Amino acid sequence: MKTKTFQARVHEWVVSCFPLSAHEDRRERGHRFLEEALELAQASGCSRTDALALVDYVFSRVEGDVAQETGGVMVTLAALSNAQGIDMEDAGEAELGRNWSRIDQIRAKQASKPQGSALPQ
């Protein structure tokens, strides 16, 4: 029997945790991804000034292809993880396990935030 992929198991958690309106909302998922990416960049030594400069740089360019940009995220995350001595698969498994144990807290946070806002409350 084949084990489910990490992505499939994350999907099961998202479906269990969030209402359909949240887990299928590409804009919402993009905001949450950006929030986590910024937190990782901050924890890795990126300054607010550098982050804002990169925002201006990225948004001055032509919008990319979602599949290609997804691949780019995976490659650069692996490279950053290597540079930091972190096994990204282990880190992902640990966070997914932690999230399963916090569903009630995550749902409460989701319910308290304004609809359509990029900022969590």
pTM: 0.86
User: For 20-43, what is each residue's pLDDT tens digit?
Assistant: 877 788 998 899 999 999 999 999
The pLDDT of 52-62, averaged and rounded, is 97
What is the Cα–Cα distance from 37 to 39, expressed in whole angstroms? Answer: 5
- What percent of the chain has pLDDT above 70? 93
Name residues whose C-beta falls within 8 Å of residue 102's C-beta, 6 or more positions apart in sequence.
none
